[in-house]
Amino acid sequence: MATGATPETGAGTADTVSASVVGASGFTGGELLRLLAGHPRFAVAQATSREYANRTVGSVHPNLRHLDVRFVSPDEIEPVDVLFAAMPHGASMERIEEFRDLAGTVVDLSADFRLDDATKYDEWYDGHTAPEHLDDAVYALPERHRDELPGADIVASGGCNATATILGLGPLADADLLDGADVVVDVKVGSSEGGAGGGEAGSHPERSGVVRPYAPTGHRHEAEIEQELGLSVSFTAHAVDMVRGASATAHVFPEDLPTKGDLWTAFRGAYEDEPFVRLVAGGGGVYRYPEPKAVAATNHAEVGFELDERNDRLVVFSAIDNMMKGSAGQAVHAANVALGFEETAGLDFQGLHPVGAP
Amino acid sequence: MATGATPETGAGTADTVSASVVGASGFTGGELLRLLAGHPRFAVAQATSREYANRTVGSVHPNLRHLDVRFVSPDEIEPVDVLFAAMPHGASMERIEEFRDLAGTVVDLSADFRLDDATKYDEWYDGHTAPEHLDDAVYALPERHRDELPGADIVASGGCNATATILGLGPLADADLLDGADVVVDVKVGSSEGGAGGGEAGSHPERSGVVRPYAPTGHRHEAEIEQELGLSVSFTAHAVDMVRGASATAHVFPEDLPTKGDLWTAFRGAYEDEPFVRLVAGGGGVYRYPEPKAVAATNHAEVGFELDERNDRLVVFSAIDNMMKGSAGQAVHAANVALGFEETAGLDFQGLHPVGAP
Amino acid sequence: MATGATPETGAGTADTVSASVVGASGFTGGELLRLLAGHPRFAVAQATSREYANRTVGSVHPNLRHLDVRFVSPDEIEPVDVLFAAMPHGASMERIEEFRDLAGTVVDLSADFRLDDATKYDEWYDGHTAPEHLDDAVYALPERHRDELPGADIVASGGCNATATILGLGPLADADLLDGADVVVDVKVGSSEGGAGGGEAGSHPERSGVVRPYAPTGHRHEAEIEQELGLSVSFTAHAVDMVRGASATAHVFPEDLPTKGDLWTAFRGAYEDEPFVRLVAGGGGVYRYPEPKAVAATNHAEVGFELDERNDRLVVFSAIDNMMKGSAGQAVHAANVALGFEETAGLDFQGLHPVGAP
Amino acid sequence: MATGATPETGAGTADTVSASVVGASGFTGGELLRLLAGHPRFAVAQATSREYANRTVGSVHPNLRHLDVRFVSPDEIEPVDVLFAAMPHGASMERIEEFRDLAGTVVDLSADFRLDDATKYDEWYDGHTAPEHLDDAVYALPERHRDELPGADIVASGGCNATATILGLGPLADADLLDGADVVVDVKVGSSEGGAGGGEAGSHPERSGVVRPYAPTGHRHEAEIEQELGLSVSFTAHAVDMVRGASATAHVFPEDLPTKGDLWTAFRGAYEDEPFVRLVAGGGGVYRYPEPKAVAATNHAEVGFELDERNDRLVVFSAIDNMMKGSAGQAVHAANVALGFEETAGLDFQGLHPVGAP
């Protein structure tokens, strides 16, 4: 077993398995490092970065200055129990053979292994170069694939906007409440979604204070949503002024408007035992509906709804931290399930109040 | 003619008419003061505030520290040519008789005189106490009521969210492109909409960085929209982290999807001669669609669209500064038309680049 | 022993002691609840709030929606092992007798027991009503009072701005490097410092985007700083646009400018074994000096410096999360020391990257 | 006379002079275009950009979408009355001969012609390549150089941080109140100072919510300040979360602390007739001291002070919009003076209330 882990990161006990992060200088790679370093069952073995090789991870991720781990070149990656790949779309599938040889479990955070069907990938992204591995991949969301994750070879962590949407609409789709419905999903996301190299549009002067329709139509996450929900949604994404967070508002015009009772039955049935989903609908106080702020820095999702009887419309709200439930947290949660760990291990942070634009 | 205006505000020439602002310590009242003080045809006569009577307007509105104008008690208001009322809903109609006696033209920024039909007001707000004045009121948006404004007794400035929506969808409704369509309007607004006294939910720690569904269904502006467009829309408003600005994204499922050509014809026909509406759809650069930042501090609206043929959906974007085109700027624009002034008088500020969260 | 704690908060094992929070609906009270609920050695007994009695703590603190704890009236408070008081200045001293009767250890987060000398309190605040308890209180910062904390009856958690300043300048004062120096401390703080009820100045429209000199001179924290450092500093605080965080920049004109070596010796000697202080000075990357963002949501402080030989000046930077190291985190850290727990227990969150305006 | 100006920009009347902007795609270039297009005495002739040649200025500066002006290559620049150069430091001096041949007046916004003494430039920047032109340049601030500006060949617009500092301390230096004083200037600036290409440190996720010591010591503006004030200051700059704005807090330890009366005499004497400087010190309300928000989008500066008798310290606050009074607005103001126009021409915008993080 390859470790290389430092004492700080708790390697070498009988209870831990080793984990490496490929692409660890990016935002999601850094978030994975943070979660794995604080995880009772994982020991960080290697963190790769070509650009920052030999520098400490804290030189890029200032919150990890305490960690005594240095980046290694991706060419020097060694065998490990679990390999987390946090690379751009297209890059993971190029190296999937190598990754599977190196590790018993590959957790991929790109879009490369999310779609079951290579032709769908070709349609929404570029041509898939490793379609023969798609059958070995499980979509990571435990709320929908808990039974398929144990022992999975490849775990494909979902897209952040797709995750928010699927968590909001999944129970309704499963309860056949969306059959024949027109569904609009209007998403608001933070700037971390774009990664560290945002270019001019992502520079602070241009990106501050925006309400910017950055994906008015044709967002690639529609493909995942359709696969997971079995229905097509009309998706639009807006960039707003926060760094972390994704909020999905689904406007649904069903053939028959369900009752509040139907909705509570569907949502409670789906989520009452879920450790990371909270139902939030109405009540008093400042925070009456799902909000990204309420789940910032956590792996929680909030889901809620409201009926608009005047317009025969159902509105479903969901909110996540795109870096956590929408990416690295989801990946660790799924890895916990895949490896038989306690589901919430390493993911117990309870969020903040108050908190600004996380 | 009551003036009381100071030399700084240009009173007393043959070319100016006097204007007073009732409720001048609030955000929209302050914006009116700014616009009127810089307007070539208006001379500020009085600015009322019960709480701040005898203090300078600059003590509340720091941008107006240069203005040598002091608040007077609303009990001391004098006859004037044009009276701008910037009061809460319900308060204007209580004093409308008095206001009409004082001034030849009353420009009201509350919701009290926007709806033609008192029963609609009763349905969406509380009971109307001055319904006999509704027939004398014209909805302020010059883009839709230019011909009715000259000589109007009461000018009713529209709601900010309604204004954004009406400007986006109006040309399509007029061209019968929305007949039978399901229409969702998902609005994102800044904190100035709530005024200066936001309470706990509006405090900086709670309001910063939010994506908060503050009006999931049943927003009162639906009534104005329905009146102006002749169709019902499903409206949801989210608070986001900016102070000024409103962005409306309309998701339309028409019976027959129009072509791009149809859309350009409708929008160009409606807006190519409008001084305050810009069509923004696609193109390169950072700002490809309407954004509140691009019109911040101006009286401009931006309108644009995108077709989603995969989902038989039309997406229409519109963006305004809620304090300007959505309130005080619209009021001054309408007053210009009502009084026969040049339409753009006092409203020629060109906005800023870059600008943060205005 | 009073418990009332729910299973979620881990009460009742031999290893835990009970803890109650008085004033739990405020920001610091909520932060204490979060930390105590996730702490391996504390079991939350009671959380008081007169206004929200019988409501869940999650109805006020949305991050704690998972917690099955309800507020009780402060009149119903019961005996407990440790009582954390998160009340306004002046309120704690009124009830200190009662608190000491109820609990073996009182941890107070107000300013009431920070100053050794009642006349100093009278000078900077109002008249002290319980001066006879001052001798039983220990200033909470473990970095300066670790040896006095075990067994302390009253632990007085420091002010956020004072904490940042003391951590930055303490090692230099101890090394006699500040003797006779003129010292300016220019602090920038987030809006959470003002609590939930910020009034008009704290409303989002007025507080967003500010650089506001809210305490140009005479800030009360000067008293604590003088007590802890043995020297007087010239203090100015600015409100800036973040919710959490305090950054102190000390500009020091010493009689003799120390060398870099002197400074490293002083800082390393003071902090190399401290679990919650990081030295950050120079190096490459984006985060070269202490920044509140780098420690947001954690109990860490960052301290760094730069020499300005051209002006015979030493610049010392320090940054904390005002809600954590500057308040609730410091309180829990000190309680850990006072009770003989592991110092870092319950305080191991590693912060976030990226993060917005936390 | 070279015009090329469009009807929208008002060329060709007897009252206007032609003006071109070199480097018009940058932030300050865009701000100049906005001001000149709205100026009663200037007609925009050309706006150069190598990267965006032939595209409309609105494709880069969305607030200028209304303007019918296209960028031209800097190689195609033609003779003009006034040439505004908005280029990086070092680039202006390379082309100064050419610029002076093209235009009777060159207004330069870089640092190249701010310092009288080439050896100072060499010390703080790189080697000066056109020192023979320094004698023909006048530092732009009309508050200090009004008499030298008329007819100046080169007008050198000041640095934003230097401008804020000089306006705050200038009257005190002139009144000999700073003789022998230790002076610290702690500046907080917005992200527009860094221009559009901020790199990773300037990306929204990394730059949001910061309090970042980006120039702890040795900021180049110290040179300008020393030249203009005749004294040396200890300067430190922090990046904070706004786009526009600079706030300077000067902490002064004078040999003898002046009285409030001395200070008012000095400031009123200097500024009571200045059209763009406001004295703001104390009083009630939310905005008691100078704040960037209060002057955002305007050419105004606010200056105020407070005495700290406990520490024998004087604190002076000043605030500007770095893009306006700190750059393009100062340049236009100085050009107005240089050309004999009304000083406030084109600069009469009164700012906004409320406004977010401008």
Inter-chain contact A31–C353, Cβ cutoff 8 Å? yes
| Parts of chain D with a pLDDT under 50 | 1-12
pLDDT band at B281 (very low <50, low <70, confident <90, very high): confident
Inter-chain contact C356–A353, Cβ cutoff 8 Å? no
Q: How far is B339 from chain D (nearest CA, A)?
A: 24
Tell me, yes or no, if D205 comes closer than 8 A to chain B by beta carbon. Answer: no
**Could you give the residue numbers annotated as active site of C?**
160
Q: Tell which of D160, D203, D243 to mutate to test the A interface (max A CBs under 10 Å).
A: D203
At residue A199, the pLDDT reads 86
Render pLDDT for A281-307 as a digit per residue (tens, 0 to 9): 777 889 999 999 999 999 999 999 999
DSSP assignment of A114-157 equals T-S-HHHHHHHSS--S-GGGGGGEEE--HHHHTTT-TT-SEEEP
Q: What are residue D62's phi and psi, to 5 degrees?
A: -65, -25
Query: Can you state the percent helix, strand and coil of chain D, rounding each to 5?
Result: 35, 25, 45
At residue A7, the pLDDT reads 35
Render pLDDT for A16-28 as a digit per residue (tens, 0 to 9): 999 999 999 999 9
Contact by Cβ (8 Å): C235, C226: no
Angle, helix C329-339 to helix C27-37, in steps of 10 degrees: 50
Ligand-binding annotation for C192, yes or no, is no
Q: Characterize the bridge pairing of strands D277-279 and C182-189.
A: unpaired
Tell me, yes or no, if A208 comes closer than 8 A to chain B by beta carbon. Answer: yes
Render pLDDT for C156-180 as a digit per residue (tens, 0 to 9): 999 999 999 999 999 999 999 999 9
pLDDT band at B283 (very low <50, low <70, confident <90, very high): confident
Inter-chain contact A353–C30, Cβ cutoff 8 Å? yes
Q: How far is A247 from chain C (nearest CA, A)?
A: 16
Contact by Cβ (8 Å): D349, B352: no
At residue D164, the pLDDT reads 98
Residue of C nearest to A286 (CA): C60
Residues 6+ apart with CB under 8 A from B235: B161, B165, B184, B185, B187, B215, B217, B219, B221, B222, B225
Share of chain B above pLDDT 70, in %: 96
Tell me, yes or no, if C59 comes closer than 8 A to chain A by beta carbon. Answer: yes
Is A3's pLDDT higher than 70? no
Task: Quickly tell me which residue has 């599938």 as its tokens.
Answer: A93
Residues 6+ apart with CB under 8 A from A335: A19, A82, A84, A105, A107, A155, A341
At residue C198, the pLDDT reads 66
Bridge-partner residues for D296, per DSSP? none
Inter-chain contact B203–C206, Cβ cutoff 8 Å? no
CB-nearest to C353 from A61, A287, A300 is A61
Query: Can you state the percent helix, strand and coil of chain B, rounding each to 5?
Result: 35, 25, 45
Inter-chain contact B63–D353, Cβ cutoff 8 Å? yes
Q: For the residues C53-69, what does the mean pLDDT come to?
A: 96
Ligand-binding annotation for B322, yes or no, is yes
Q: How far is C211 from chain B (nearest CA, A)?
A: 14
Inter-chain contact B291–D351, Cβ cutoff 8 Å? no
Residue D196 neighbours by CB distance under 10 Å: 18
Inter-chain contact B294–D63, Cβ cutoff 8 Å? yes
At residue A1, the pLDDT reads 30
Average pLDDT, chain A: 94
CB-nearest to B202 from C203, C241, C356 is C203
Contact by Cβ (8 Å): A298, C63: yes
Is A82's pLDDT higher than 70? yes
At residue A11, the pLDDT reads 43
Q: Which residues of C touch B208 (CB under 8 A)?
A: 191, 204, 208, 241, 243, 357
Tell me, yes or no, if A237 comes closer than 8 A to chain C by beta carbon. Answer: no
How far is C-alpha A210 from the chain's CA centre?
23
At residue C287, the pLDDT reads 95
Residue of A nearest to D206 (CA): A196
At residue C11, the pLDDT reads 43
Global ipTM? 0.94
Q: Which residues of B touch C205 (CB under 8 A)?
A: 27, 190-192, 194, 196, 198, 202, 243
Q: How far is D285 from chain B (nearest CA, A)?
A: 6
Residue of D nearest to A27 (CA): D205
Structural domains present in chain B: 7-158+324-339 (3.40.50.720), 160-320 (3.30.360.10)
Chain D contact partners (≥3 CB pairs within 8 A): A, B, C
Residue of C nearest to A347 (CA): C349
Residue of C nearest to D241 (CA): C241
Q: How far is C264 from chain B (nearest CA, A)?
A: 37
Tell me, yes or no, if A190 comes closer than 8 A to chain C by beta carbon. Answer: yes
Ligand-binding annotation for C283, yes or no, is no
Report the run of H or E that residue D263 belongs to, with start and end.
Answer: helix D260-271
Angle, helix D27-37 to helix D329-339, in steps of 10 degrees: 50
Residues 6+ apart with CB under 8 A from A292: A190, A242, A244, A245, A246, A247, A319, A320, A321, A358, B209, B210, B211
Q: Is the dihedral of CA D25, D28, D30, D32 positive or negative?
A: negative
> Rounded to the nearest 10 degrees, how much is the dihedral formed by the CA atoms of B137, B140, B145, B146?
110
CB-nearest to B197 from C200, C241, C243 is C200
At residue A13, the pLDDT reads 55
Among the listed residues D47, D123, D52, the one whose alpha carbon sits nearest the alpha carbon of residue D83: D47
Share of chain B above pLDDT 90, in %: 90
Q: What are residue B322's phi and psi, to 5 degrees?
A: -65, -25
Q: How far is B210 from chain C (nearest CA, A)?
A: 11
Inter-chain contact D218–C308, Cβ cutoff 8 Å? yes
Among the listed residues A350, D128, B165, the one whose alpha carbon sits nearest the alpha carbon of residue C348: A350
Task: Quickly tell me which residue has 């709205």 as its tokens.
Answer: D38
Inter-chain contact D197–A203, Cβ cutoff 8 Å? yes
Tell me, yes or no, if C171 comes closer than 8 A to chain D by beta carbon. Answer: no
- Cα–Cα distance, C168 to D4 (Å, whole number): 59
At residue A317, the pLDDT reads 98
Tell me, yes or no, if B315 comes closer than 8 A to chain D by beta carbon. Answer: no
Q: How far is A45 from chain B (nearest CA, A)?
A: 36
Residue C196 neighbours by CB distance under 10 Å: 18
Residues 6+ apart with CB under 8 A from C75: none
DSSP assignment of D119-165 equals HHHHHHSS--S-GGGGGGEEE--HHHHTTT-TT-SEEEPPPHHHHHH
Residue of C nearest to D243 (CA): C209
Q: Which residues of A touch C195 (CB under 8 A)?
A: none
Rg for chain B, CA atoms, rounded: 20
Tell me, yes or no, if B135 comes closer than 8 A to chain C by beta carbon. Answer: no
Residues 6+ apart with CB under 8 A from A272: none
3-state secondary structure at position B62: helix
Which of A33, A160, A173, A237 is an active site residue? A160
Measure Cα distances from C181 to C255, C258, D109 in Å.
6, 12, 39
At residue D14, the pLDDT reads 60
Tell me, yes or no, if D207 comes closer than 8 A to chain A by beta carbon. Answer: yes
How far is C-alpha A144 from the chain's CA centre?
13
pLDDT band at C13 (very low <50, low <70, confident <90, very high): low
Inter-chain contact C64–A31, Cβ cutoff 8 Å? no
At residue A5, the pLDDT reads 34
Q: For the residues B250-270, what does the mean pLDDT come to?
A: 97
- Cα–Cα distance, B243 to B74 (Å, whole number): 28
At residue A136, the pLDDT reads 98
Q: What are residue C142's phi and psi, to 5 degrees?
A: -60, -30
At residue A4, the pLDDT reads 34
At residue C8, the pLDDT reads 39
Tell me, yes or no, if B219 comes closer than 8 A to chain D by beta carbon. Answer: no
**Could you give the residue numbers annotated as active site of D?**
160
pLDDT band at C195 (very low <50, low <70, confident <90, very high): confident
Tell me, yes or no, if B239 comes closer than 8 A to chain A by beta carbon. Answer: no
Inter-chain contact D236–C253, Cβ cutoff 8 Å? no
Inter-chain contact C244–A357, Cβ cutoff 8 Å? no
Q: For the residues B268-282, what does the mean pLDDT come to?
A: 94
At residue B269, the pLDDT reads 98
Chain A contact partners (≥3 CB pairs within 8 A): B, C, D
Task: Quickly tell me which residue has 């220019």 as its tokens.
Answer: C186
At residue B129, the pLDDT reads 97
3-state secondary structure at position A103: strand
Contact by Cβ (8 Å): A190, A292: yes
